Structure 1
């Protein structure tokens, strides 16, 4: 089981990157200590702080062939990781 699933790349998170904050989708059962260790091991940075939140799945409805199809998006856990000052995580793969 991997603690980190994927980095979250949105405009809002890109604005936080200048402050040394990065967002990741993590396993629902992962705690802050596990997330901190995983980020430090994978990216080789010193993590100063980890904030977590559960994003509850939303109910979605759409029309298909004249009928309504309802479903639900998945619930996931998001972690905002603050790294030590002067350190960066290269999520975008820039050289």
Structure 2
């Protein structure tokens, strides 16, 4: 298994993510593009010491941005929505 810190890049804090966390105990992370669901599950369980129930991943395509007079694409990135088992919480998100 690869290093879990290379798989999980950062937590995504958005309004929709906060609603998912409160209603369905789901957390959203930015993950490495080459990682799969099994690697994401193992990395979350290892880093945060919680039990993962299911993982959904999706690739978000980069937008075209203007830099001065030049246009260029932002890189594509992968997002993982992780549902935890009942009574499990990630302390990193509490109080946000």
Q: Give the TM-score of the pair, scaled to structure 2.
A: 0.86
Residue ranges of structure 2 left out of the alignment (5+ in a row): none
For the residues of structure 2 that align with 1:79 and 1:28, how far apart are their CA atoms? Answer: 10
Residue ranges of structure 1 left out of the alignment (5+ in a row): none
Following superposition, the deviation at residue 93 of structure 1 comes to 6.0
Following superposition, the deviation at residue 61 of structure 1 comes to 2.1
Following superposition, the deviation at residue 69 of structure 1 comes to 2.2
Q: Residue 92 of structure 2: SS of its match in structure 1?
A: coil
1:60 to 46, 57, 65: 65
Which stretches of structure 1, 4 residues or more, deviate above 3 A after TM superposition? none
CA RMSD of aligned residues (A): 1.4
Paired residues in the alignment total: 90
The structure that is helix-richer by fraction is 2
Alpha-carbon distance change, 20 to 93 in structure 1, aligned in 2, over 3 angstroms: closer
1:6 to 4, 10, 31: 10
Bigger-Rg structure (1/2): 1
The structure that is strand-richer by fraction is 1
